[in-house]
Amino acid sequence: MIVDSHMHLGMSAVTPCVDPSIEAVLAQMDHLGIDVSISVGGSSQIFGRPEAGFETALEAYRLSGGRILSCAYFNPHYAEEDVERARRQLEHEAFVGIKIVGSLTECYADDERWHPAWRLASEWGVPLVVHSWWVSDYNPRQRYHTPDQFERYVRAYPEVNMILGHAGGRYEGHRAAAKLARSYPNVYMDLSGDSYSFGLVEWLVEQAGADRILFGSDLFMIDARTVMGRVLDADISLEAKRLILGENAVRLFRLM
């Protein structure tokens, strides 16, 4: 099974999108042989229309015959409201994880206000997908979620599997992500986004093991082919590619 474990339903004014429709996502999945996609925060969920996002996620699940799944989204500034909504969402089979983003909510990853999200992931036995990156001079908000900041929670919640979205984003971030994954068995990472360094896939497999790495795109923004080609042609074993392209996601998100 091939799983795109990191995409977003919807669109954003910030990044023009050719076609944000569910039909276009499905057509591209079919074209590339992707069986299941996981929307880790539809744009409505992330940008402040959580109920509209909930409906979009359910509609995508129905329209796709269960092939497009979703994560609940938690904003720490609306903790009570979002925990309540996440519970409602996780009761539905369309929802398989929880997503959090530090930069958009301007809250550091090690801040105490993230506890409810981790508790919820623990309680429901679902993975927590986090945005991760490294300090960036041209995008300073990336400082809110360098991989090392998650250590506090990774240690406090050993039963919660955390997936570092974008695997730390840039060179030093990849190093920090690999270091965290080597130290804690509940740390995973995905290849989504524009982290296109030559040799990255092979390096991560060697550092953290193929069983910790997940294929992901970053649709509706970034085209999945830029990531899939790098996995298919990587100098790693076929077994490793199978794990990365889907089997890890199946295990973590309990997809059947």
Partner 1 sequence: MMSEKYVSPDAQARVERLVAEYREQKKALRFLDSNLWVGRPMQPGFCLRWDLEALLGYMDRYAIEGGIVTHSAAAMEDPYATNEELLDWIADQERLWGGLVVTSELPPGYSTWGDYLDRAISRKARLVRLFPASHRFSLERWCSGALLDALHERRMLLAVWHIETGWNAIKMLCDTYPDLPILVEGRPQKIVYHNRFFYPLLERYPNLHLELHNLNVYLGIEDMVGRFGAEHLVFGSCLPFNDPNTAQMMVTAARIGDSAKRQIAHGNLQNLLDGVMVP
Partner 2 sequence: MIVDSHIHLGMGVSAPCVDSSVEAVLSLMDYLNVDLSISTGFPLMFGRMDEGYDKAVAAYQSSGGRILSCAFYNPHYPQEDLEWVRRCLDHEAFVGIKIHPPLVECYGHDERWEPIWRLASELGVPIVTHSWWVSDYNPVQRYATPDQFEGYVRAFPDVNLILGHAGGRYEGHRAAARLARSYPNVYMDLSGDSYSFGLVEWLVGQVGAERILFGSDLTMIDGRTTMGRVLDADVSAAAKALILGENAGRVFGLEH
* Token couple for 97: 């994880």
Verify binding: residue 209, partner 1, rule CB under 8 A: no
Question: Choosing among partner 2, partner 1, none, which partner's interface includes residue 158 (Cβ < 5 to 8 Å by kind)?
Answer: none
Pick what 20 binds: partner 2, partner 1, none; C-beta below 5 to 8 Å, kind-dependent. partner 1
Nearest to 214 by CA among 178, 170, 250: 250
Q: Which is nearer to partner 1, 100 or 126 (CB)?
A: 100
Report the partner that residue 28 touches, choosing among partner 1, partner 2, none (CB closer than 5 to 8 A by kind): none
Given a contact cutoff of 8 angstroms between Cβ atoms, the answer to whether 75 and 41 are in contact is: no
Give helix then strand counts, H and E, for the chain: 12, 8
Per rule CB under 8 A, is residue 19 in the interface with partner 2?
A: no
User: Pick from 49, 143, 175, 251: which binds partner 1 (CB under 8 A)?
Assistant: 49
| Site membership for partner 2, residue 106 (CB under 8 A) | yes
Six-digit token pair at 179?
A: 């270091």
Site string for partner 1, 91-110 (x = CB under 8 A): -------------xxx----
| Shortest distance in whole angstroms from residue 48 CB to partner 1 | 4
Contacted entry of partner 2, partner 1, none for residue 140, CB cut-off 5 to 8 Å set by kind: partner 2
Q: Which of 14, 33, 159, 256 binds partner 1 (CB under 8 A)?
A: 14
Figure out which of the listed residues 25, 46, 221, 255 binds partner 1, where binding follows CB under 8 A.
46
**How many residues sit in the footprint of partner 1 (CB under 8 A)?**
21
Burial class from Cβ neighbours inside 10 Å (0-12, 13-18, 19+) for residue 223 reads: middle
- What are the helix (H) ranges across the chain? 22-32, 43-46, 50-63, 79-90, 102-105, 115-124, 151-156, 171-183, 200-208, 225-232, 238-242, 248-253
Alpha-carbon distance of 129 to 73, in angstroms, equals 10
**Cα distances (Å, whole numbers) of residue 102 to 67, 109, 125, 132:** 28, 6, 22, 9
Binding interface with partner 2 (CB under 8 A): 106, 140-141
